Amino acid sequence: MDVYGSGDDTKDNVADITQLVLNANYTINPRTGASASFTRTTWPELLREEYENIPVNLLQDGYVNRFSGSVWRKVTNDIRATARGHYWVDQDDTGSGAELGADWYNAWGPGSSLYGAVYYDDSSFNDGYGLRAQVRQDFGAARLTLGYDGYAYSVDQVSGSQDLLRHTVRADVGWYKGNWSTTIDVSHNFGDSENSFTLGAYVQYRF
């Protein structure tokens, strides 16, 4: 929450929810489960000048509400199917998305897994269909993950709608020792009108 007072020009002298996250998970039986979530985000008025100025109309009326849900089912001891969906609404628009996928654990041996999915996404600036695949293998305290994502989407522009295709290949290596865990990942986006690389590192210590 953010609390506003006499020093704020746009917000009323009240407390406003800036970010709300609610999650619920339920295991129906050992082979079936479901989850649901709701998030709400609004834009706060800040007195700090190091941040970019936010338009007044976005401060006054801007919000994003997102509803999400999923259902999973273990088809066999090693295969689990999952269906996900979401719906969002903001001050100007609405959209939705869905994904249907499956995990195959111990696909070619202990510590291995294979994931595949098809999905649809309707966002503020584009909408399209995609598919993703991921393989994972554990090597003792280390884990290697390789993935591919293909996304065919349309973008609305002043001159009309434009159809584009994006490919993403990624790899990450993680290892764990005691309370420490570390992950290094790299991804490459390429396709119509884009070509970029991303490198990231993540270090965590659990108490």
Threshold 0.75, pTM exceeds: yes
Residue 148 belongs to domain spanning? 106-207
Residue 42 CB: number of other CB atoms within 10 A? 20
pLDDT value of position 170: 97
Burial class of residue 89 in the structure, from the number of CB atoms within 10 Å of its CB (0-12 exposed, 13-18 middle, 19+ buried): middle
Residue 148 lies in a domain: yes
Residue 196 lies in a domain: yes
Q: Residue 57: which H helix or E strand, with range?
A: helix 56-61
pLDDT value of position 8: 81
pLDDT value of position 46: 82
Residue 17 lies in a domain: no
pLDDT value of position 31: 96
DSSP state of 193: T
**Under a CB-based contact definition with an 8 Å cutoff, are residues 189 and 195 in contact?**
yes
In this prediction, the residues of the chain whose per-residue pLDDT falls under 70 are 49-52
Residue 84 lies in a domain: no
The token pair at 145 is: 């993950």
Residue 26 lies in a domain: no
DSSP per-residue letters across 123-147: -SSEEEEEEEEEEEEEETTEEEEEE
Residue 185 lies in a domain: yes
Q: In one letter, which amino acid is 83?
A: A
Residue 163 lies in a domain: yes
- Number of domains present in the structure of the chain: 1
pLDDT value of position 52: 67
pLDDT value of position 50: 64
Residue 32 lies in a domain: no
